Amino acid sequence: MGSSPPLYLQIQQHLLEMIRSGTWPAHHQIPPEEQLARDFGVSRMTANKAIRDLVQQGYLTRQPGLGTFVTDRKAESSLVDVHNIAEEVRGRGHGYECDVLLAEAIAADDEVALRLGVRLGTRVFHTRIVHRENGVPIQLEDRFVNPRWVPDYLETDFHRHTPNEVLVAACPITDVEHVVEAVRVDAATAERLEMDATQPCLSMIRRTWSGEHLISYARLIHPGDRYKLRSALSRSAS
């Protein structure tokens, strides 16, 4: 017979079920530790551990003197690492899907040639994809890839594999450059992201290298009210 999960995990599972089902929306105040301890027949220390772990995972936030509340878990990406957006979405317990708008070979214009380090008019691969979380657009990705390094890029089924996944498999990423700014978008972009064109967006320009080779240049647009970027730096003691 399988053993039951530890008591603190049972409390966590209950809390996560309430959050993920929408029963407890963002900013909802959860029951205090004392009540959870009584409801589950455990010590207050056990209830505290369950809550503390969910705070560390970003599901809950403590406000001294007020209580513990459900966080507004906007879609989030790291500014330091490059992750697969599908895995990020699923890691939050949400559903991922995408709309593949373009997958084509084009001649590099001035901007693409400069950003990708190729001659003007060079044949490059271009994809345009809307990434969705629980059906809601969270990112419009315009990506340009040097065919020299990823020749089979356009043969990918992008509904099954994200561009990031394809690039990492073909050319392990060693270096990345990010440029982030707040922008207003045109009507076409706003329509693709299903948002009001007057709302601000986060724009990220990302270039990725594998060794000395510049592999990809991407323009990533995120609705400002649905997305946040995170950066963390760990310093080792000297």
Rounded to whole angstroms, the Cα distance separating 176 from 219 reads 13
Contact of 206 with 178, CB cutoff 8 Å? yes
Contact of 182 with 217, CB cutoff 8 Å? no
Nearest to 128 by CA among 188, 175, 176, 79: 188
**Residue at a domain's end among 16, 36, 70:** 70
- pLDDT tens digits, 8-36: 899 998 998 898 788 998 889 999 999 99
Q: Domain tally for the chain?
A: 2
Determine if the pTM surpasses 0.85.
no
Rounded to whole angstroms, the Cα distance separating 224 from 6 reads 39
- Alpha helix positions (H), the chain: 7-20, 33-40, 44-56, 85-91, 110-116, 163-170, 187-192
The CATH number covering residue 192 comes to 3.40.1410.10
Looking at the structure, do residues 45 and 84 belong to the same domain, yes or no? Answer: no
Q: Is the torsion defined by CA of 78, 81, 86, 88 positive or negative?
A: negative
Residue 221 lies in a domain: yes
Listed range (73-77, 184-188, 196-200, 231-235) with the worst mean pLDDT: 231-235
- pLDDT tens digits, 162-178: 999 999 889 888 888 88
Looking at the structure, do residues 48 and 110 belong to the same domain, yes or no? Answer: no
Contact of 127 with 140, CB cutoff 8 Å? no
CA geometry: angle at 13 spanning 8 and 18, to 5°? 130
Residue 141, φ and ψ in degrees, nearest 5 = -110, 115
